[in-house]
Amino acid sequence: MRYLPVFFEALCSLDSPRIRIVTQVRSLLFKQGVSPLPFARSRRELHLLLEAIAQTGQKPGLFVVNTHGAELMLGDLDEIIGATPVFFFRHKLLWAKEETEVLKTIYGVTQRIGKLRPRLTVTRRYGALNSEQVARRAARQIGSFARYGDFRSLEDQLKPEHSGFYRSSTA
């Protein structure tokens, strides 16, 4: 594999299988025969993983990060990732008891991502109801990127419909 994807999912996001979207994507890629699929759950693990990858003479081609549970680590991850392209998954909450807390979380992640260094970035929103669909699409896109290194394979191509709305051509 020429463009090695490195996966990061914080310990906090391990509570529900539908929220563990990075784990879903890795499973789908493994079924496609894509390997290796290095995975870390903390900054420490990520440092150790990157050291091991460097010893093999490889370097990451893409970081795949679930921001759920990693909101406060994004600044540290930014330093670790450097200029390498990133594929972010953002958990989209549909309801909560405390709306103000949800808004703080949503806007906090948006602000933190906005403050990261400039690099090629894709952000994909998901929720418990659509995580499988989003994971399937992301696995196809990440698998293609891993083989060919074309960042455009990670972006959704939107086609206009007669109604004036856009639909994804990669759905």
CA gap 20, 23 in Å, rounded: 5
Domain interval for residue 100: 4-168
CATH number of the domain encompassing residue 140 = 3.40.50.11230
Nearby residues of 134 by Cβ (< 8 Å), 6 or more positions away: 21, 89, 124, 125, 126
DSSP code per residue over 89-108: EEE-----S-HHHHHHHHHH
pTM of the entire predicted model: 0.80
Beta strands in the chain (DSSP E): 4-9, 39-40, 60-66, 86-91, 121-126, 158-160, 166-168
- Evaluate the CA torsion angle 133, 136, 140, 146 in order and state its sign: positive
Domains in the chain, number: 1
- SS3 at position 86: strand
**pLDDT higher than 70, residue 157:** no
- Per residue in 58-86, pLDDT (tens digit) is 999 999 999 887 777 888 888 898 989 99
The rounded mean pLDDT for the chain is: 80
Q: What average pLDDT does range 41-65 have in this prediction?
A: 93
The first and second tokens of residue 19, run together, are 């929220």
Q: What average pLDDT does range 30-43 have in this prediction?
A: 92
- Per residue in 76-115, pLDDT (tens digit) is 888 898 989 999 898 875 445 444 554 455 555 656 666 6
Q: How far is C-alpha 75 from the geometric centre of its chain's CA atoms?
A: 15
